[in-house]
Amino acid sequence: MSGDEQPFPQDSVQAELEHWVADMPEVDPLTEAARQRIGRLTRLFDRLLSKVAVDNALTAGDWAALSALQRSGPPFQASPTALAQQLGITSGTMSVRLARLVQAGLVESVAAADGRSKPVQLTTHGQNRWRAATKERTAREHVLFAEALSRDGLSDLNVLLGHLLARLEDEYGPAGRHDVPKDA
């Protein structure tokens, strides 16, 4: 190890990596470690999101639907079909979710201009619940990053991840524009 390299932290990947790559000598341990860490971080951030959702009387899927409506911009509405497609769920799952969100007063049905579809719209109560949950999630994430990395380290991480994301998007197309948890 050269003088400017940092030792790997003893995380769950590092604890398993040597044994795993011993069985697969053709696998580059640095690449595998990075991929494993990114995957595990994704799953842990999903866990954090699900915990914050529960703390705000939501499911992760409810939060994903509210997020999609919020990010649609004023008047914060979309058809159930468009929401289901955006979230990657079936129309039946979307119907159940919307019924729950309507009952909770977080979304409401609105008249459609074409008379064929009945879009749903985020209510003020829904926006407030979404904002509270999002504020809590981002605050928790900020603390996690601040405890693990300096501001310069976080900036460096964003540059490195940006390079990797750009390369992957060149190869496989753009990623979804916002998180959709697995149970969405």
Average pLDDT, the chain: 89
User: Which tens digits make up the pLDDT trace of 94-111?
Assistant: 999 999 999 999 999 998
Per-residue model confidence (pLDDT) at position 1: 42
Binned at pLDDT 50, 70 and 90, residue 182 comes out as low
In percent, the amount of the chain with pLDDT more than 90 equals 75
Task: Give the Å distances, CA to CA, from 147 to 10, 52, 139, 151.
Answer: 16, 19, 12, 10
Contact criterion met (CB below 8 Å) for 45 and 33: no
CA-CA distance, 51 to 60, in Å (whole number)?
8
Per-residue model confidence (pLDDT) at position 115: 57
Phi, psi of 181 (to 5 degrees): -60, 160
User: Which tens digits make up the pLDDT trace of 9-63?
Assistant: 678 888 888 888 888 889 899 999 999 999 999 999 999 999 999 999 999 999 9
Instruction: Report CA 60 to chain centroid distance, whole Å.
Output: 10
Per-residue model confidence (pLDDT) at position 7: 63
CA-CA distance, 59 to 49, in Å (whole number)?
9
Model-wide pTM > 0.85: no
Q: In what order do the strands lie in the sheet with 107-109?
A: 77-78, 120-122, 107-109
